[in-house]
Amino acid sequence: MVAFEREHARPVGSRLRSLFGPAGSCIRVTMTWTVAGGIAWGGILVGGLTLSGAVSTGFQLLAAPVLYVVGVVLGFMHGCVLAVVGRPPSVSRRRALLRGVGGGALALPLVGAGWVVTAGMSLTAALLTDFRWATLVLCAGAWCFGTAWCAWAGVEGVRALQRALDRWPERRLGSVITGSILVLVSAIFVSHPPQLAGTSFRLTGLGAFALAAAITLWVGLPVVVLVLRLASARSFSHPGGR
């Protein structure tokens, strides 16, 4: 608790200046992923389902706020994990977690702005039935800002994963196994695209690959890391059995 207070006792200006330096990577990844999660779930996903005709406009109005909140929570959790596993070499796990939580705190004011962007994305369906120039400008601006923010979150996530791989002792073997899992799951999903529960929407090839990548990242990769770590520890403790 004392460490948390000490971490956030610095002036706000000092924290903002350090945000864009190497030490601010843990803050940036959580801040960007918190807002990007809401935009992706409440804006891009719901908007895509509505435009494809898989769900009605009424469903969009009900689902967008709920999925936005779900996306924000999942994005924050995702960002905290990336902040810890993808921290710079000079940052401890505890400090990386504190900075990740601080990034979530900095994202709180932006969550409201993200909801405005998500609401702008929801105007896409209305634009197709009742074209207005003002609606077009708002909708286009929302989609541009939303995709740009999600792209920023993606860049921060890739950088964090690169640092995590550099720290992983078994990264060569682990990368081969994880890549094989991705190829296998992608082949299954692309050949038999899953259907979203509660809708008539069946994923496209790109959506099926994205789902396969998410499953590989969040399920396959942690299992591979755990198994290789256990195997390495067992080999180290029983060298005669090798």
Residue 195 gets which letter from DSSP? B
Where does residue 147 rank: exposed (0-12), middle (13-18), buried (19+ CB within 10 A)? middle
The structural domains of the chain, with segments of one domain joined by +, span: 1-166, 168-242
DSSP-assigned beta bridge partners for residue 202: 195
Q: How confident is the model at residue 17 (pLDDT cuts 50, 70, 90)?
A: low
Query: Which pLDDT value is given to residue 199?
Result: 61
Two structure tokens written together for 172? 């060569």
> What are the counts of helices (DSSP H) followed by strands (DSSP E) for the chain?
11, 0
Q: How confident is the model at residue 42 (pLDDT cuts 50, 70, 90)?
A: confident
Q: How confident is the model over 161-197, as pLDDT tens digits? A: 888 888 888 888 888 999 999 999 999 988 888 876 6
Work out the mean pLDDT of the chain and round it to a whole number: 80
Query: Which pLDDT value is given to residue 73?
Result: 93
pLDDT at 242 exceeding the cut of 70? no
| Residue corresponding to tokens 């995709």 | 147
Of these ranges, 23-27, 28-32, 232-236, the one predicted with the greatest mean pLDDT is: 28-32
Query: Which pLDDT value is given to residue 149?
Result: 94
Q: Using an 8 Å Cβ cutoff, are 79 and 103 in contact?
A: yes
Q: How many CA atoms lie within 13 A of 106 on its CB side?
A: 23
pLDDT at 57 exceeding the cut of 90? no
pLDDT at 1 exceeding the cut of 50? no
Q: How confident is the model over 196-219, as pLDDT tens digits? A: 666 666 777 777 788 888 888 878
Two structure tokens written together for 138? 């708002």
Query: Which pLDDT value is given to residue 144?
Result: 92
- Estimate the crossing angle of helix 133-167 against helix 93-121, to 10 degrees: 160
Query: Which pLDDT value is given to residue 69?
Result: 92
> Among the listed ranges 52-61, 65-74, 87-96, 140-149, which one has the minimum average pLDDT value?
52-61
Average pLDDT over residues 55-76: 81
Query: Which pLDDT value is given to residue 2?
Result: 45
Average pLDDT over residues 45-50: 74
Phi, psi (deg, nearest 5) at residue 233: -65, -40
Q: Using an 8 Å Cβ cutoff, are 49 and 201 in contact?
A: yes
Beta-carbon contacts of residue 21 (< 8 Å; ≥ 6 apart): none
Residues above pLDDT 90, as percent of the chain: 24
